[in-house]
Amino acid sequence: MKLTVKDNQGQDQGELEVKLQLIENQRGTQAVHDTVVAHMANQRMGTACTKTVGEVAGSNKKPWRQKGTGRARAGSFQSPLWVGGGVVFGPRPRDFGKKVNRKTRQLALLKALSERLKAGDVLVVGDLKLAAPKTKTMVALLDNLKISGTVLIVLDPIDNNVILASRNIPCVDVVTGEELNTYQVLKSDKLIFTRSAFAKVEARLE
């Protein structure tokens, strides 16, 4: 497979031969699922916490005597049946993290990238550098490349001007070729790679 390389003005600069061994069958589908589920699970803070009967404030005094009042018997102000009492089986701090081995992550990234390449959602530019960190410059660049929808820009090395120019655009994310993961590949409508970033990803997937 060959990809057309464009410059910042949207003009063709030549072609790039894709060295990746693209996955043509259903192989890797489960790896993609496992990797994305693990990624999303690892984003969870796991800090939700409720107090049990033993943790809520209150005395151990019996609210009223056992018999003779006509009311239901009660032995504690901290009862889960009472407003302000403890919570039964409520959430406690926990780690939601899941682990996926390196080969599975690598297969998932290759599978996801293969599908995006076959769908024509990947664009390669020779280099992507901005003279100044201005949002309107980044918007103009995306217009030149005829890109719409959500966009993931993959750089190598990272360019601070690109990060600063794109952070006010809600549909644009920036990442390096070293950090690119399966979830990011699947999330955006279009992927823009610099030539060096694409080479970095190919080296990761060899």
Q: What is the pLDDT of residues 63-93, one digit of tens each?
A: 999 999 999 999 999 999 999 999 999 999 9
- Report the largest interatomic distance among the alpha carbons of the chain, rounded to a whole angstrom: 93
Q: What is the pLDDT of residue 176?
A: 93
**Among residues 135, 134, 166, which one has the least CA distance to residue 152?**
166
Q: What is the pLDDT of residue 189?
A: 94
| Domain boundaries 2-44+99-204, corresponding CATH code | 3.40.1370.10
Instruction: Tell me the average pLDDT of the chain.
Output: 93
Q: Does the predicted model carry a pTM greater than 0.75?
A: yes
Whether residue 93 is preceded by a cis peptide bond, meaning omega within 30 degrees of 0, is no
Q: How confident is the model at residue 24 (pLDDT cuts 50, 70, 90)?
A: confident
Amino acid at 38: A
Residue whose structure tokens are 């949002």: 135
Number of Cβ within 10 Å of residue 78's Cβ equals 19
CA 27 to chain centre: 23
For the chain, the structural domain boundaries read 2-44+99-204, 45-95
Distance separating alpha carbons of residues 198 and 111, to the nearest angstrom: 15
Residue 158: is its pLDDT beyond 90? no
Residue 7: is its pLDDT beyond 90? no
**Among residues 100, 117, 96, which one has the least CA distance to residue 186?**
117
